[in-house]
Structure 1
Amino acid sequence: MPANSHVLFAGGGAAGHLFPGLAVAEHLQRRAPKTMITFAGSGKVRERHIVRNAGYHYTMIPAQPTPHSPIQALRFLTDNAMGYCAARWMLREQRVSMVVGLGGYTSSAVVRSAVARGIPVVLLEQNAIPGRTTRWLSRSAALVCAAFDEVRPHLHVQAPVTVTGNPSRPAFEKLYAQMNRRSGASKARFSEENNGRRKRLVILGGAGGARSLNENMPKALSKLKDQIADWQIVHQTGEGQLQATEARYESAGVSALAVTFIDEIASVLFESDLVVCRAGGTTLAELALANVPALLVPYPQAVDNHQIANAKVFTAAGASRMIDESSQGGALNSALSRELSPLLSDLELRGRMAGKMQELARPQAASEIAGSICDHLSGSLAPRVAA
C-alpha cells in the first residue's frame, strides 16, 4: 500500500452517518498508520468537535439538503455548486487517493467530484433503502458496503455491492468482545437468576432527541405503573427538550432519569434490558452488538421511509417490535403502552428477542471495510471506470 495514501471520508451531518466513518477510520489507521485521513462535512459544530477529538483533519464543504421552499431552492443550487467546485479543488490539491462516502447530502458533492476525477470511491450505505448518493453513483464506485442485503434491488445490477453490516463505534466493539469472552454473559440479563434485579428501560431519540417520544413516553409509562415498579427508566431527550420532558414525567407520576445526551451509551446499553428508539441503521447495528431487544418507532419523515424498511428487517427476524408512528392518528402513547406491556412483563420473550438480536450482530464490519480500502489502495482490487 503506498505510504503517501490519503483517504477522505465525506459526509456525516447526522451521527448515524458520521460514527460508521469514524469506526472505519480507526481500523484503517491501525492497518495503515502512515495513511493520511481527512473528514469533509457541512461544518456543524458538533461534527467538527467529534472528528477533531478523534484526531483527524476536518474540512468544510458547502452543501444544502433537498429544498422545501423557493428560498431554500436558491441556497440549494448555489451552495451545492460551490461545494462541488470546492471538492474538486480539494481533491486535486490534497492528492486524495480514495473517497469514502458516508451518506447524507454533504457527501454528494465530494463523491461526484471524485467520480469525475477518476478517484476511486467506496460508499457506505447504512440503511435498507439506499440514499440518493448511493443510488446515483453506486455503479461508478469501487465498492458499496451495505448494512442490509435489502439494498440490492434499489441499485444498478452492476453495482459492486458487498454486505458487511454497519460499522459500530469502538466502544461497542470492545464491549461485544468482552461479553463474548465471558461464556454465557450475553444471556445473563435475561435469565431467571437475574429476574429479581432492577431492570433498565432506555428511551433514545438519537443525538437530537425525538420530540414525539419525549411527549408520549411519560403518558405511556403512566399506564404501566405496576409493570415498571422494578424498572429503572433512562430517557435521552436531546438538546433543548430536557426540562419539558422532566415535567411530563413528574406530571405522569413516573420516576425517570431524563438526560440531554448519554455520553457512555455503549456501557449503558450493554447493561439494559429493553430499548425504545428510532430505527436508523447505525442505532440498530449497535443494539445488535449490545444484545438488547427493542421497540422501534421509525422516524416518520425519514427519506424514502428508510427507517421503516430498517425496522421491518429486525422485526421480521424477531429481534424487535415496531410501531408505525404515521399510522397512529395522534394516539402514539396508547400504541406505546400496548406494545411495551408484554415486553416489560415477559422475561422469556425478552430473552428470545435478545438472542435474535445477537444473530444480527456484525462486529467485524468496520474491520472488513477498512481491509477492503487497504486492498484497493494496494492494487489488490481491480479499479472501476466511472460510468
Structure 2
Amino acid sequence: MIPGLNVARELQQRYPQAVMQFLGSGRPQEEGLVASAGFQHYALSSESLATARRRPWQFLWRNWRAVRQARALFQDQKPTAVIGLGGFASVPPVVAARRMGIPTVLLEQNIIPGRATRWLCRRAGAVCVSYAASAEHLPAGVKVEQTGNPVHPDIAALVASSHTDQRRILLILGGSQGASAVNRAVTMAADILQDQLTGWTIMHQTGINDWREVEHEYQRLGLEHTTSPFFSDMPQRYADAGLAVSRAGATTLAELACAGCPTIAIPYPYAADDHQRLNAREFVTAGAAKIVEQQSTLDQTAELLAKQISRLLADDARRLEMRHAMHSLARPLAARDVADIICRTVDDSLKR
C-alpha cells in the first residue's frame, strides 16, 4: 500500500486535476493509511488466498463479487489506468480492468514476486520491480522494469544527507509483522549489552501491543531511550540513526537505503516464499546489512543479535562502509520512474 501511495503522490503532483482512488480490503489500517494521505478508498468484498483451502466456496464467491464491484465502479468512474500493488486484494480490480481493456501496471516490492503478480503479469502493460533478480521468477515475455521501491519524498530526500558516522542512535523497527519476537529479542540483547550501549540512545518503534513491556525493560536497564507504538516522523528518525534493527520487508529496506542506515535484518521466518530472507540477502551481498536469523527460542535469537550489535557498535569504520553501501542501493526516484511507466503504458494503449 505505501509504495502505491507514493506513486499516487507523484501522479497527483504532475496532474493536479487527476483523481486517485484506492480499491482494496476493508481493513481499518489500510483505510486509515489511504485517508491520511488524502485519497479515496473503496472496500471490495475480496477474500484472502489464505482462506481458499478452508473455505473455497466463500473464497470464490467473494472474489467473484469483488470483480463485479470493481467493474461497476470502473464503468462509472472510467479510470485511465489501474495499478496493482502486489497484494491479493489487487487481483479483482486488475482482472476487471483487463476485461474492460483498461491499461494495467503492476508493482512488485519483493525479490520473489507474490502470487498475485505471477497470476496477473502476462497481460499487464508492465511489471515494476525493486530487484533485477525478480525478472527471473516471472514468465518470459513479461515486460519487467526495475524501478526500485517508491518511497515517501521526504525519505527519498535523505539520499543527500551526510555520510559521516558520528550518529549514536540505535533505531529499532519492531512495529511490523512478527513484531513481538523482534521487540523481545532486542530488549534481551540490550540487557546483555547494557555497558556497551552507554553513550547510545535507543529509538524503538514497538507496535501497539508491546509498547508498555518494552518501555518498562529500558527503564529497568537504565538505558537512554525513546519508545513509541509508531513514530510519525520517520524521515527524521532514519536521518538520526547510526544503526538499525528491523525485519526485512521490502519497503523498510528501501527506506533504510535512502537514509544510508547500516542495518541488522531479522527476516520474518514465515513470510511467503521466504521473501524477507531473500530481500535481506541482496543487502548483505552489497555489504549494506547483516542478517540475524530468528531462532527457535528467544534466548538464542537475542544472543546472536547481541553479538552482531556489539561488533557494529565497536566498529565505526565498518558502519561507515555499510552506510556507503546502503546509499548505493537507494532508488530515490522510484516513484517518478513508476509514474513514467504508467504514463507510457497509457499512451501506448491509446495508439493501438
Please give the TM-score of this superposition, normalised by the length of structure 2: 0.93
Distance verdict in 2 for CA 1:231–1:347, change over 3 Å:
same
User: What secondary structure, in the 3-state scheme, does the structure 2 residue paired with 1:370 have?
Assistant: helix
User: What secondary structure, in the 3-state scheme, does the structure 2 residue paired with 1:355 have?
Assistant: helix
CA contact (8 A) 1:199 1:232 kept: yes
Q: Partner letter of residue 326 of structure 2?
A: M
User: What secondary structure, in the 3-state scheme, does the structure 1 residue paired with 2:21 have?
Assistant: strand
1:148 corresponds to which residue?
Answer: 131
| 1:269-288 → structure 2 map (5 Å cutoff) | 269-288=238-257
Shift of 1:70: 6.5
Distance verdict in 2 for CA 1:259–1:73, change over 3 Å:
farther
CA contact (8 A) 1:242 1:258 kept: yes
Once the two structures are aligned, what percentage of the paired residues are identical? Answer: 38
Aligned pair count reads 352
Deviations 1:301-351 (A, max 9, x none): 111111111001001110000022156686111111111111111100000
Q: Does 1:113 align with 2:96?
A: yes
1:291 corresponds to which residue?
Answer: 260
Q: Does 1:336 align with 2:336?
A: no
Q: Does 1:157 align with 2:140?
A: yes
Distance 2:175 2:350 in 1: 36
Deviations 1:3-22 (A, max 9, x none): xxxxxxxxxxxxxxx11111
Q: Partner letter of residue 107 of structure 2?
A: L
Q: Does 1:200 align with 2:176?
A: no
Distance verdict in 2 for CA 1:98–1:69, change over 3 Å:
closer
Distance verdict in 2 for CA 1:79–1:69, change over 3 Å:
closer
Q: Partner letter of residue 79 of structure 1?
A: R
After superposing the two structures, state which structure 1 stretch, 369-378 or 66-75, moved more.
Answer: 66-75
1:187 pairs, out of 143, 157, 163, with: 163
Deviations 1:242-269 (A, max 9, x none): 1122233345554432210011011111
1:13 corresponds to which residue?
Answer: none
Distance 1:154 1:381 in 2: 30
1:263 pairs, out of 223, 226, 232, with: 232
Q: Does 1:218 align with 2:201?
A: no
2:273 corresponds to which residue?
Answer: 304
Distance 1:254 1:229 in 2: 7
Alpha carbon RMSD of aligned pairs, Å? 2.1
Please give the TM-score of this superposition, normalised by the length of structure 1: 0.85
CA contact (8 A) 2:286 2:325 kept: yes
Deviations 1:31-58 (A, max 9, x none): 2223221111112223222222322221
CA contact (8 A) 1:28 1:371 kept: no
5+ residue gaps, structure 2: none
Shift of 1:117: 2.2
User: What secondary structure, in the 3-state scheme, does the structure 2 residue paired with 1:186 have?
Assistant: coil
Distance 2:70 2:220 in 1: 51
Deviations 1:173-208 (A, max 9, x none): 2343xxx2xxxx5222x1xxx4xxx60001103456
CA contact (8 A) 1:67 1:76 kept: no
Q: Partner letter of residue 24 of structure 1?
A: V
Distance verdict in 2 for CA 1:72–1:217, change over 3 Å:
farther
